[in-house]
């Protein structure tokens, strides 16, 4: 599926804020040392910073707010990577490494409840899949789909796709600002 399916479901914001632009994407991908998935770029170019379904916030590399910025969230995760490396030396299992390690997780979003949405960065960026970790829990869901398919699937009332599917309501996108 593509961004048009999401647009058909929730529409587009009248005046999105902090949307992407070509030179900006190039600079960010150079800093990250990796391209980002095309569906993510389509999402940010269309919606910018805000709240989807009154529940999900996708981290935006162009956001001026630390809590919404993908690079800031990655910085937080890299601090956790140091913690994870220390735990490995103590013999404690760690489920996932952190990007930029191959197959590492990269935080792409969260929910208003505090659940985390990650990419598992294995293979080419357009093949990255989604991992969801429930807040205050070790419960993890793996979803073998891209970001847009994940966002569409959690809003589908005909399937019980994720633990928070029942909390999602199809509603207009809320712009930050």
Instruction: Say what the pLDDT of residue 92 is.
Output: 42
Instruction: Say what the pLDDT of residue 66 is.
Output: 85
Domain boundaries, the chain: 3-175
Query: What averages of pLDDT result for each successive group of 10 residues across the chain (177 residues)?
Result: 90 94 96 97 96 93 91 80 55 67 90 91 96 82 94 84 70 73
* DSSP-assigned letter for residue 79: H
* DSSP-assigned letter for residue 125: G
Question: What CATH code is assigned to 3-175?
Answer: 3.40.1580.10
Instruction: Say what the pLDDT of residue 95 is.
Output: 67
**Residue ranges of the alpha helices (H) in the chain?**
3-10, 22-32, 38-47, 70-89, 147-154
Close Cβ partners of 28 (under 8 Å, ≥ 6 residues apart): 36, 61, 71
Q: pTM for this one?
A: 0.88
Q: Is the dihedral of CA 43, 7, 66, 54 positive or negative?
A: negative
Instruction: Say what the pLDDT of residue 137 is.
Output: 73
């Amino acid at each position: 599926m593509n961004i048009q399916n999401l647009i058909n479901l929730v529409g587009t914001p009248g005046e999105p804020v902090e949307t992407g632009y070509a030179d900006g994407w190039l600079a960010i991908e150079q800093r990250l040392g990796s391209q980002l998935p095309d569906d993510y770029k389509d999402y940010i170019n269309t919606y910018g910073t805000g709240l989807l379904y009154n529940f999900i916030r996708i981290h935006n590399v162009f956001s001026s707010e630390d809590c919404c910025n993908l690079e800031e969230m990655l910085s937080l995760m890299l601090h956790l990577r140091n913690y994870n490396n220390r735990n490995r030396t103590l013999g404690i299992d760690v489920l996932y490494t952190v990007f930029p390690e191959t197959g590492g997780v990269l935080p792409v979003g969260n929910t208003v409840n505090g659940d985390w949405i990650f990419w598992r960065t294995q293979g080419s960026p357009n093949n990255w899949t989604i991992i969801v970790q429930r807040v205050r829990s070790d419960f993890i869901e793996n979803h073998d789909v891209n970001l847009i398919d994940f966002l569409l699937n959690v809003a589908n009332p005909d399937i019980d796709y994720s633990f928070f599917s029942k909390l999602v309501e199809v509603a207009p996108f809320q712009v930050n600002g």
